[in-house]
Amino acid sequence: MLKGKVALVTGAGGEIGRASALLFAREGARLIVSDLSLDSAAETARLIQAAGGVAHAVRTDIADRESVAELIRFAIEACGRLDCAFNNAGINLQADSDWDLEAFSKTIEINVQGTMYCMTAEGEWMMKAGGGCIVNNASTFGLVGSSRQPGYAASKHAIVGMTRTAALRWARSGMRVNAVCPGPVETSMTRAAMNHSPEIRARILSASPMNRLAQVTEVAEAALWLCSERASFINGVALPVDGGFTAG
C-alpha cells in the first residue's frame, strides 16, 4: 500500500508508533522514525531493518519548532522526499485528571503546538514537491468530552480542528490531511491502569460497545489506509477507531 513511498512516524518509540512504523515498512515504505527518546526510535528502526526494511532514527522534541524543522530536513536529505506522515507523538498526563493547570499547559504545548509544528513543516515541503498525506493521532476525546481530563480533551479537540482546517486550506495543493481517533487502546499504560482496580477496568471497558480495547495494530491499520492511495478522496476526516463508542 505504500510501495516506493517515504513515510515519517513521530512517537515511533511508543507502542502505537512502533506498530505503525513496522506496518508501514511491511507495506513498502522507507521510514523516518522519530521520538523524544533516541534509544526508543533506534529500537524501532532496528526492528524494521531486521525485517528487511529501510529506516532512519531521529531524536525529535515536537514541542521545539527547530527540532521539528531539523527532522524534516533530515528526512529530505536521507530519503530525498517525504510522501506521508503519521503525527503520532503526544502525551497523556495522569495529573491532568486532577485538574492540574501545569499538566494542562504541558499537554497543550506538546499535543497541540507540537502537532501544529509537525503539520506545518511537513505540509510546507510536501506542497513544494506536489502533494502528500498527513495523518494526525487524535482521540475519541477529540470528538466527545471527558469528565476527567480537561487538557487531554482540549488538545485532542484542537488536533481535530487543525486537521479539518489544514485539509480545507491545502486540498488544492495536492494534500490530504486526516486524523485517527482511537478509543482505549491495549498498551502497557492502559493495562497497568486496568489492573489497578476493578472500577477502573470496568470504566475503561465501558467505553467500547465491543467490550474490548483496540489493539495497537488496529490503530496502525487505520493510519496506513489513510496514508495510502486507497483513501485518495478521503480528506478532513476524523476517523474513530473505537469499537462504536462515538456511534451512540
For the chain, give the number of residues.
Answer: 248
Q: What share of the chain is helix, strand, coil (3-state, %, to 5)?
A: 55, 15, 30
Q: Is 152 a catalytic residue?
A: yes
Q: Do the beta carbons of residue 2 and residue 223 sit within 8 Å?
A: no
Catalytic residue among 86, 141, 152, 245: 152
Closest CA to 39 of 14, 9, 72: 14
The CA distances from residue 113 to 1, 132, 165, in Å, are 30, 21, 15
Query: What is the residue whose three cell numbers read 485517527?
Result: 180
- What is d(CA 208, CA 245) in angstroms, rounded to the nearest whole number? 5
Which residues are catalytic, by number? 152
